[in-house]
Amino acid sequence: MLRRGCSCLPTLLLAVLLAAGVYIFRGPILTAAGQFLIADEPPRKVDLIVSLAGDEFGLRALTAGKLVKEGDAPYALISGVPGLLMNEADELIRFAELHGYPGSYFRPFRHTSDSTKSESAALAADLKTRGVHSILLVTSNYHSRRAGEIMRRVAPWLEVHTVAAPDRYFSADGWWKTRSGQRTFLYEWLKTFSAWLGY
């Protein structure tokens, strides 16, 4: 029980008001937290388009194909790791072809990296041998800010512009409404903090 004149009453009242404010404005707050993960720049002409691995639903590859079709680069490098029957890169290129994009729009980049950091390092080495100086980096919306920061860190000589592909389960203004969206948000924020720490 609070004693008369207890100095903790103003603190308690402030905490209640703060909690009420967070609850009332939870939509904009949660949207801002999701939006922070997204770095989506306007497309522009570059030397090459790079679509990162981990493209579970093919939306990164389709976004890359659209950018090539619009004339932003001669072709897209589709990054992929080994899969059950074939490399992910080859599978994604086939998927894009089934959606109407010519195979000439794409080149596979096959590797065995197990993180965005190691994938970016492998890509950077390859891009340097190709004489590439500027890219559109295509990845899922929730992954775009972190991926862009990592690529710029491992390849400071490279001009990197991020393009956010849509994701089936994540949107900045509704990620908290589904379990998949919540999981994606939590994992990406944990990875973002880890990247800030240099891991």
Tens digits of per-residue pLDDT, 26-45? 679 999 999 999 999 999 99
CA contacts within 13 A on the Cβ side of 145: 17
Query: pLDDT-based confidence at 2, cuts 50/70/90?
Result: very low
Residue 139 to residue 163: CA distance in whole angstroms = 7
Domain ranges of the chain: 39-166+175-196
* Chain mean pLDDT for the chain: 91
- Whole-number pLDDT of residue 105: 98
Query: pLDDT-based confidence at 16, cuts 50/70/90?
Result: low
pLDDT at 20 over 70: no
Backbone angles phi, psi at 87, to 5 degrees: -65, 140
Residue 81 to residue 11: CA distance in whole angstroms = 54
pLDDT at 65 over 90: yes
- Whole-number pLDDT of residue 133: 98
Topology given in CATH for the domain delimited by 39-166+175-196: Rossmann fold (3.40.50)
Query: pLDDT-based confidence at 195, cuts 50/70/90?
Result: confident
Digit-coded pLDDT (tens) for 110-141: 999 999 999 999 999 999 999 999 999 999 99
Question: Distance from CA of residue 107 to its chain's centroid?
Answer: 21
Contact (CB, 8 A) for 138 and 60: yes
Q: Which residue has the higher pLDDT, 194 or 67?
A: 67
Average pLDDT score over residue span 6-10: 65
